[in-house]
Structure 1
Amino acid sequence: MRANLVGVLRDRARAGGWLHRPAYEGAGAVTHAEVYAGAARVAGGLRAGGVQAGDRVVLLLDDGPDFVSVFLGAATIGAVATPVNPRLHPDELRAAVVLADPALVVCRPADLAALHGFPVPVLVGPPVGDPVDPVPCGLDVPAFALLTSGTTGAPRLCPHHHADPLVYHRAFGGPVLGLTPQDVVHSVSKMHFAYGLGNSLFYPLLSGCRAVLDAEPATPDDVLRILDEHGVTTLFSVPTFYARLLAHPRGDRLGALRLAVTAGEVLPPALEERLVALLGDRLLNGIGTTEVGQAFTSNAPQGWRAGTVGRALPPYEVRVVDEAGAPVGPEVPGRLEVRGPTVTLGMRADGSPQRTSGWSATGDLATVDGAGYVRVSGRADDVENVGGIKVHPVAVEHLLAAHPLVREAVVCAETSGGLLAYVVRGEGDESDDDLTSALLAACRERLTAYKVPRTVVYVPALPRTGSGKLRRHVVRTWESTGLAAPM
């Protein structure tokens, strides 16, 4: 089909009667009609600047109308919008832009220094020109490319087709989220991540609802204010940030949401229990990847099971396999695989998407029960070697995090053998020594001896990606580099 994602979105808004309704607020208010008018002008500016179909355009922009107009403007002319986190360290930022190999970079003023001497044009803010209609490039060509989060090492670039957001919405945005023009959504994850891009760009434009955008990194105070001021009905976040919201004096405000969606990392049982007490089955826990583009399993109001990330969302399928790649039966642990029409493993040498219609490993350890509900226990590469014994750290971390004075916890193997626990503690009268004693006693009571940490080190924060995922490979370097001295 010779179509264009932007044309499909605009036609859908016209048919749904929501062109006149607000699409975005918070970091600038615009209607759906203004979104497409702005994209057409930016498309004209990009074309006048020499950008051609198939070229990649890097977006170094915060969440806001400029991000939306440049993303859609690039797709309008058949170019490939490539968001990059503008808050990366300058060295990481430059490396990400080099990986993207763009024809043009659109950035904030603050990013110019990091890109000094870069061999392609760099513009501050969106270019504007005569409006351009969406080019019928076809739904089976790349419209955007996303960088993997780098939780396990160097990021990779994953291009996705014009048709892919339509699949995301048919799988998740429509049947699970049930978004309508009356909904107001807010995402803690920003639009340069796959999770945030769906939450704040694709789903609002495909459903006619409005999204509240915030250019600044999320804080509990700001998110709770946004919920109140804008009447947010659906919140998207990661478990770590939900824990911070619940620790806030006004954390009970979450109970007024129609839906609270969580993804991005394993949801600790103790945190899930507290959220369910407020939300019941309105807490939707799911899993997605940059390679898939969005969620491929999720709990839903019509199909919900505690402790799981729900069931596969058609047209996606999931299975669990053993070390040899053979499917296993219900409740047998193994490695999770996904199959579906949007899976992109990365880029080929010629820059084209490396799409696959076969089974693809997600990197997660999981079980699937007889009803199809998926329970994720951690990442396959999270396994720690303790004296020759393989230890999955998530269960230990969840036990530590169940203590009311623990905000976050991670464990990793020591070079001398045994486990070392790094803990971010909350406020309380208990001393570090007393808290350590309580934590280790709980572990000795509940865990096999080799899983009990030898000691606890208190740190101010854990290293996370911009989307909130733990950078476990960084934690593993702390012991040797001395970066994890006690607070």
Structure 2
Amino acid sequence: MTTAPPRPAGDTTAPASVRDTRSGNLAELLAESARAHGRMDRTAYIDEHGEHSFRSVHEGAGRAAAAFAAHGLGPGSRVLVALPDGLDLVRAFLGALRVGAVAVVVNSTFHPDEMARAGRIAEPDAVVATPELEGLFTAPVLTPDRLSGDGGPVPPYAECAPGTPAYAAFTSGTTGDPKLCFHTHADAEVLDQAAGRAVGVTEDDVCYSVPRMNFAYGLGNSLLFPLLRGAATVLTARRLAPADCLALLARHGVTVHYSQPTFFAHMLTHPGAEEILGRLRVAVVAGEVLPRALERRLRHILGERLLNVYGTTEIGHALLANGAGAYREFTLGRVLAPYRLRIVDEEGRPVAAGTEGRLELAGPTIGPGVARGSDVPLRTAPGEWYSTSDAATADPDGFVTVHGRLDDVEIVGGINVHPTEIEDRLMEHPAVEEAAVCSVRHDNGVSALRAFVVLRAGVDAVAAQDVRQELLATARTTLTWYKVPEDVVFVTSLPRNHTGKLLRRTVRAQAAGGSSRH
């Protein structure tokens, strides 16, 4: 099935294009957007030090650009930014763009080995980081203090074509070394037309994103969309615990909150969570399949103010959204203009509505990852199909359901099983916090399913045995026989990567070795 959405009406929130600027530079577009709409003295960011205006953000970016230029950085240079979310990161990112360099933001909490690997992959000409990271890189390290001082005259915005690379994001590296996906100076406006418009960020909003700016998704949430659209954004250097996040939402009157399903589930275990989340104008959930039980609970609190979105690092943000105006329960909504999608079989032929297949995408911002920063950035043509690793279906009205990664499929008795379907059923039990299902092979060669379950706080050992029997009984009465777990193992937590995604390979390895039983 191939789906192409109608193009929505015009949006005058921000200047239409980098083509409207003198230089074609994204950093100039963001500054001119604030200036043209009279926002320079409005609050752009809020952090532990107070409020910071759009003017101070862009003036700080100019000082960073001056420092970069003084160190010989310019068009084509790569700048690795290894800083936590904060004003220093924003200014370094915009300053790099201003001189025509490519900004590559990396997780500042990486283990030293991972950080060194990121440096080898990015091959930067300079690194922006704190002094203690200096020994991890061969490139010179510039500290935030050096970027905020008097580095000389502020250089003009480097002239850039729409296809000039502006920044790059690392993939999560769940199937090997991370790759770099490059995005251009023109991509931000396309992402804003799609995901930014779906979220509907305005000058009246206060935003907070749990996903950090080293992810393409977090970068859009905390930098691109609010700077284009004039919203205020709360920044925290560390990723908050769920209870701390709830307190922050209440303290700052956050209206747009972005997070992953697991984080929302953990927030809901705390007193007052429903009241705080219920004040949001929109709650955006992404990063993994949203369990049905959690969607029901969030819909009860938020209704269509819950926006479930789908995207990839290669795209740059989201291209599917299920929320106000285009909502259908338990789907990811429809594709957002100007993107297109289709669902194909193993031979690459489009399938009929309702038939499961592989999700393929087309659009103007898709940049498949490359192994090294010095590699020629890959870009798909706007009409060229990019193949994901996700299994999906689309109904006749174009509402898409993503079932999970194709390599997440478990095989039981020669039959393909999507674990998310079973996990959804298990998580409907009020005592279950999280669940993961995988197949195990016994010594006799027979495969069966095993469920790993995290119980909610307060469920004691005696009650847990009752929960186990109830889960198995429910599975037997509501699922086809080959989807019923053979047993349920209670665990204290499930393995997840730094993005919050479930590490299914680790779950399988633990199941095979029996190391998760306790």
TM-score normalized by the length of structure 1: 0.95
CA distances 1:301-340 after superposition (whole Å, capped 9, x unpaired): 2221111111111000111111111011211111111100
- Displacement of 1:11: 0.8
Out of 33, 36, 45, which is 1:12 matched to? 33
User: Are 1:104 and 2:126 an aligned pair?
Assistant: yes
Matched, 1:123 2:142: yes
Structure 2 match to 1:297 = 320
- Please tell me whether the aligned partners of residues 119 and 137 of structure 2 are also in contact (alpha carbons under 8 angstroms): no
* 1:109 to partner: Cα distance: 4.5
| 1:265 corresponds to which of 285, 288, 298 | 288
In the TM superposition, residue 153 of structure 1 has moved relative to its aligned partner by: 3.5
Give the whole-Å Cα distance in 1 for the aligned partners of 2:195 and 2:311. 11
Letter in structure 1 aligned against 2:226: P
Tell me the SS of whatever aligns to 1:10.
Answer: helix
Alignment check: 8 A CA contact 2:131 2:141 kept: no
Corresponding position: 1:446 with 2:465: no
Aligned residue in 2 for 1:194: 216
Change beyond 3 A, Cα 1:426–1:162: same
2:415 to 384, 389, 399: 389
Query: What amino acid sits opposite 1:269 in the alignment?
Result: R
* Residue 155 in structure 1 maps to residue 181 in structure 2: no
Residue 368 to residue 223, structure 1, CA distance change in 2 (3 Å): same
Q: Is the alpha carbon distance of 1:20 and 1:332 closer, same or farther for their aligned partners in structure 2, counting shifts above 3 Å?
A: same
Q: What CA distance in whole angstroms lies between the structure 2 residues aligned with 1:244 and 1:144?
A: 32
1:362 to 388, 399, 404: 388
Q: Is 1:54–2:80 an aligned residue pair?
A: no
- The 10-residue stretch of structure 1 (420-429 or 310-319) with the greater mean CA deviation from structure 2: 420-429
Tell me if the contact between 2:171 and 2:180 (Cα under 8 Å) persists in the aligned partners: yes
After TM superposition, the structure 1 = structure 2 runs for residues 71-470 of structure 1, keeping only pairs within 5 Å, are: 71-110=93-132, 112=133, 116=135, 118-125=137-144, 127-128=146-147, 129-130=151-152, 131-174=154-197, 176-252=198-274, 253-347=276-370, 351-357=375-381, 358-416=384-442, 417-431=447-461, 432-470=464-502
CA distance in 2, matches of 1:458, 1:90: 33
Equivalent position amino acid for 1:173 in 2: G
Aligned-partner residue type, residue 386 of structure 2? S
Decide whether aligned partners of structure 1 residues 485 and 87 sit closer, same or farther in structure 2, where only a CA change above 3 A counts. Answer: farther
Q: Secondary structure at the match of 1:365?
A: strand
Q: Structure 2: which amino acid aligns with 1:92?
A: E
Provide the residue aligned with 2:5 in structure 1: none
Partners of 2:84 and 2:345 lie apart in 1 by 42
C-alpha separation in 2, matches of 1:340 and 1:347:
19
> What's the offset of the Cα at 1:365?
1.1
Change (3 A) 1:455 1:348: closer
| CA distance in structure 2 between the partners assigned to 1:195 and 1:411 by the alignment | 27
Output the amino acid matched with 1:297.
L
Q: Name the count of aligned residue pairs.
A: 482
Q: Deviation of residue 248 (structure 1)? A: 1.2
Which deviates more from structure 2 when the two are superposed, residues 182-191 or residues 388-397? 388-397
**Unpaired stretches in structure 2, ≥5 consecutive residues:** 1-18
- Is the CA contact (8 Å cut-off) linking 2:440 and 2:512 kept in structure 1? no
Shift of 1:117: 5.3
Q: Could you say what secondary structure the match of 1:284 adopts? A: strand
Match of residue 472 from structure 1: 504
TM-fit CA distance, 1:141: 0.8
Q: Per the alignment, do residues 116 and 170 of structure 1 end up closer, same or farther by CA in structure 2, a change over 3 Å counting?
A: same
Cα deviation, residue 264, structure 1: 0.9
Give the Å deviation of 1:388.
2.9
1:27–1:215: 8 Å Cα contact kept in structure 2? no
Closer/same/farther in 2, CA of residues 251 and 71 from structure 1, 3 Å limit: same
Moved more, 465-474 or 226-235: 465-474
- State the superposition RMSD in angstroms: 1.7
Change (3 A) 1:283 1:440: same
Kindly tell me: are residues 481 and 104 of structure 1, through their superposed partners in 2, closer, same or farther at Cα, counting changes over 3 Å?
farther
Query: In structure 2, what is the Cα distance between the partners aligned to 1:157 and 1:283?
Result: 31
Q: What is aligned with 1:33?
A: 55
Determine if contact 1:424/1:461 at 8 Å carries over to the other structure: yes
Deviation at 1:471, TM superposition (A): 1.9
Look up the SS of the partner of 1:127 in the other structure: helix
| Structure 1 counterpart of 2:352, one-letter code | G
Asked if structure 2 preserves the Cα contact closer than 8 Å seen for 1:368 and 1:375, the reply is: yes
Question: Secondary structure at 1:410's aligned position in 2?
Answer: strand
Summarize the Cα distance change of 1:348–1:109 in structure 2 as closer, same or farther, 3 Å threshold: closer
Does the 8 Å contact 1:237/1:263 carry over to 2? yes
Cα deviations by residue, 1:341-362 (Å, 9 ceiling, x for unpaired):
0001123775221101211122
Q: Contact between 2:171 and 2:369, CA under 8 Å: does it hold in 1?
A: no
Q: Give the C-alpha shift of residue 387 in structure 1.
A: 3.8
Letter in 1 for 2:510: W
Q: Deviations over 1:396-438 (max 9, x none)?
A: 1111111112111111121322122222221234423222222
Inter-partner Cα distance in structure 2 for 1:404 and 1:154: 38
Q: Look up the equivalent residue of 1:150 and give its one-letter code.
A: G
Moved more, 357-366 or 337-346: 357-366
SS of the residue corresponding to residue 450 of structure 2 reads strand
- Which 5+ residue runs of structure 1 have no aligned equivalent? none
Output the TM-score relative to the length of structure 2: 0.89
CA deviation string 1:166-211 (max 9, x = no partner): 111111213x222211110111111111111100000110000110
Once the two structures are TM-superposed, the CA of residue 371 in structure 1 deviates from its matched residue by 1.4
What CA deviation, in whole Å up to 9, does each residue of 1:419-461 have, x standing for no partner? 2222222123442322222222221122222222222222222
The sequence identity of aligned pairs, in percent, is 47
Q: Matched residues in 1 for 2:409 and 2:229: separation?
A: 40
**Which amino acid letter does the alignment assign opposite residue 244 of structure 1?**
H
How far apart, CA to CA, are the structure 2 residues paired with 1:281 and 1:339?
27
Query: Do 1:27 and 1:65's aligned partners in 2 also have CA atoms closer than 8 Å?
Result: no
Judge which range, 9-18 or 145-154, deviates more: 145-154
